[in-house]
A and B are shown apart, each in its own frame.
Chain A
């Protein structure tokens, strides 16, 4: 028995194959699927990105041009027109830019804050760590959407305030992940030798620890983007969005409140909703894919030791 255990510990690869065979789990096939998922997400996401970058190439009209309101889909207007006569397809194409911008901008803010707090508290440990993580836990408990609703109601948000608020309120989980990874990295040989050579803490954090955090940050950034986009859509639905910047969320909210729903105009309320769902899903799939790859790398590291 002891021998067998030693055998298993010595040859993790073989042990895994044995496990895969006996628990009818084909890990390799699962991995392949994960990779496919990631690639598919990336490909389709690129489509939305192009849409957001060059809307004028795809939109048949300007989003502010007016036609006859409440028109059904036809060859002239593939998705019909809305209550003030804007072409819905054009609106949809131009909305991609705003929705994606809100997502990425607020995710950037929250990733930056999470990175700084996590890095600082993981690197210095001790009292700063206790304080910062305590603060993180405290903030984590406060329900975000109700808080944003209150802020939104008081501030009458422009899109910039919305981005800022969403970014400032969603850094906690990123901070935690970064901290735990930093705790690992600071014990590695290269960080220790850098400290022996007398580099400043700041220099070590920036040039030794940060590059190793990117793999953890990227999936978190993706997921933060996805959840920010959903939050933006939800807030727009409550009428707390920026009406001058028509995102998908605002389109959906208008379709609900200005008669698209009651008149049974599916071509008005379905496309923005589907676009939000698909776009968020592609971003999340990419995030999952990166996360899976990261776990994969971590395991290989342990195996090779």
Chain B
């Protein structure tokens, strides 16, 4: 039980840290906080600046500002983007659905692909084909995600003309969306599979040295039966931990892939915000992504408890 309390405390602390960071950035960074809060390229007169300063409460003591900030957050008020002329929360709401769909599909596919291939490769690590696959995945995991995306875009969209190179859809039908999403999803799937593959491979190599695998062999089970019915279950536990830690990493990978393929998700939003120095949008995006990662970690903890009975039982 104390484990649960400890976990909850840590998540609460993480949440608090994220919110505090988000609060502190525009106020502590060099430059005028008003400029930092509305974005640098917005031109306003001195009087408007002073009005904004009063309105945003920047002349109040810090703890008053903090409580006001928390109050805004509770009302889902993430500030106003002067570049896009709309509240940040609204902009984010439009974009985040696509990104979550994109990340979700590719992580799911990548996990399945990486786990299966990794299990096979770990079972017989010394065969030529498996070693080749292993080198391939190591190379993939060492490639910056956006370079991989660029290569795919160049080869399959420009050179071969098989796929469109821009956007989520021309006409919003499921087939058209799938057609447009194929390349980016492939890139992200490979990217997430490469990480799962390496972990799964090592984990299977380790697990098959255990006595229960030997016992299963002594019972006369076939290789596939030992692998999929006995070894796989135990070997896939590290994958769950990895998935939780990796969500943030995959999320950022997805941002880059979106930029390369000009998909209108969070990635392009952040890219435009960096170029336009649109700080409110950047901050809002960071908050939303960090919270999504936090939630994913909590989910993985729950999943781990379901998958591994040892975690549920008090030791």
Q: Which residues of A line the B interface, CB within 8 A?
A: 16, 19, 22-26, 29-30, 33, 134, 137-147, 149-155, 226, 230, 233-234, 237-240, 249, 252, 256, 261, 264, 266, 269, 273, 276-277, 280-281, 284-285, 288
Contacts and interface: CB of A to CB of B under 8 A. Distances in A.
B144 A149 contact: no
Contacts of A233: 144, 147
B289 A24 contact: no
Given A19-B209, A30-B125, A256-B150, A143 B251 contact: yes
Interface centre among A153, A233, A234, A261 (most CB of B within 10 A): A153
Given A141-B248, A273-B144, 13 more contacts: A29-B126, A30-B125, A137-B14, A140-B245, A141-B10, A141-B297, A142-B248, A146-B290, A226-B142, A237-B256, A266-B154, A273-B150, A277-B147
Contact of A155 (B29, B126, B143): B29
B13 interface: yes
Given A23-B213, A30-B126, A134-B10, A145 B274 contact: no
B224 to A, nearest CB: 13
B112 interface: no
B162 interface: no
A261 B271 CA distance: 18
Contacts of B143: 273, 276-277, 280
- Secondary structure at the B interface, as helix, strand, loop or mixed, is helix
6 contacts: A23-B214, A134-B10, A137-B14, A138-B17, A154-B279, A281-B138
A141 B293 contact: yes
Contact of A23 (B6, B141, B208, B245): B208
Given A23-B208, A273-B147, A150 B25 contact: yes
Contact of B282 (A138, A149, A288): A149
- Secondary structure at the A interface, as helix, strand, loop or mixed, is helix
A32 to B, nearest CB: 9
B44 interface: no
Interface string B202-214: 0001001100011
Contacts of B6: 134
Contact of B158 (A142, A143, A264): A264
Given A141-B293, A143-B252, A239 B274 contact: yes
Interface string B114-131: 000000000011100001
A146 B214 CA distance: 46
